[in-house]
Amino acid sequence: MRFATLRLPAGGTTAAVDRGDGWHRLPAPDLSAHLAASHDRDVAELVGEPVGDGEPVLPLPAPAKVVCCGLNYADHILEMGRELPAHPTLFAKFADTLAGPGDVLELPAGSHNDWEGELAVVVGTALRHAGPEQAAAGIWGYAVANDVSVRDWQNRTLQWFQGKAWDGSTPLGPVVVTPDELDPVAGVEVITRVDGVERQRGNTKTLVFDAAHLLSYVSTFTQLRPGDVVLTGTPGGVGSGMRPPRFLTDGALLETEIPGIGTLRNRIALTGPTGAGQELA
């Protein structure tokens, strides 16, 4: 099964499900609302009329928690000059950080804006102190994400957060695919292209911490709830790891693909100066 939030030709959005026979309405305006209200209901009871034409938009506009893992692919860890970790490296984003699968990403001009294609995990049941098996059963589905990073801000201080939480910088989508259709432990590819040139191609079978272990680990210190999102880290091939480094330019097309889920296609718009707080280096 796949789920999406679709923009309707007549205006507004709807949550929708495709069980192999095309998109059908669910009784919620988006997947955040669907999961908050109906995550424990059988989808078959909720399916409404077919949606003829609908463009996928940000599937989950309102997660209470977006937790991200860095340094989780062996090849990316090595290209960043670090050692393989004993524990997942975690940081947070906000709901405001997310963007839709076709949205323009506004990023600060003069900064080092880099790509990080990732597999995203969507939580389907409440998890606290969950072991890996319970966490695995609590995975609602998978989406594509790009943890676009403002590297100079990320590296201004010891904490990456300020380079990782720019509003509307992290595209997510285009749909959410349930675990019966996709097995990241067996392996799915995560591919990033910039202006048509492939820059990243990793496989989730090489994740140091897989989705279930990440959810289990996070649930040790905080409750995860339906609709929360966990990003699993990026494979090798980021721009800052290139010699010389390369970054996203104004107007660039950033494509992030996971076969079996779909492709995000986001144009880059560099903007700025953006006010007294910016203090660009």
Tell me the sheet residues that pair with 2.
18, 177
Site for its own copies in 122-141 (CB under 8 A): 128-132, 135
Q: What is the DSSP letter of 85?
A: P
Cross-strand bridge partners of residue 172: 145
Q: What's the rounded Cα separation, in Å, for the pair 149 and 163? A: 6
Q: Does 105 bind its own copies (CB under 8 A)?
A: no
Q: Which is nearer to its own copies, 134 or 263 (CB)?
A: 134
Beta strand 170-177 with 139-146 is antiparallel
Nearby residues of 43 by Cβ (< 8 Å), 6 or more positions away: 1, 17, 19, 26
Nearer to its own copies, 3 or 91 (CB): 91
Asked, as a colleague might, if the bond just before 244 is cis with ω within 30 of 0, I would say yes
Which of residues 89, 203, 206, 263 is near its own copies by CB under 8 A? 89
Cβ contacts of 126 within 8 Å, gap of 6 or more = 138, 223, 224, 225, 226
**Rounded least distance, CB 3 to its own copies, Å:** 24
79 near its own copies, judged by CB under 8 A: no
217 binds its own copies (CB under 8 A): yes
In the complex, what is the shortest distance from the CB of residue 210 to its own copies, in angstroms, rounded to a whole number? 13
Q: Is 207 in the site for its own copies (CB under 8 A)?
A: no
State the nearest-atom distance from the C-beta of 86 to its own copies, in Å. 7
Residues that bind its own copies (CB under 8 A): 64-65, 70-71, 85-97, 128-132, 135, 150, 153, 156-162, 165-167, 216-223, 274-279
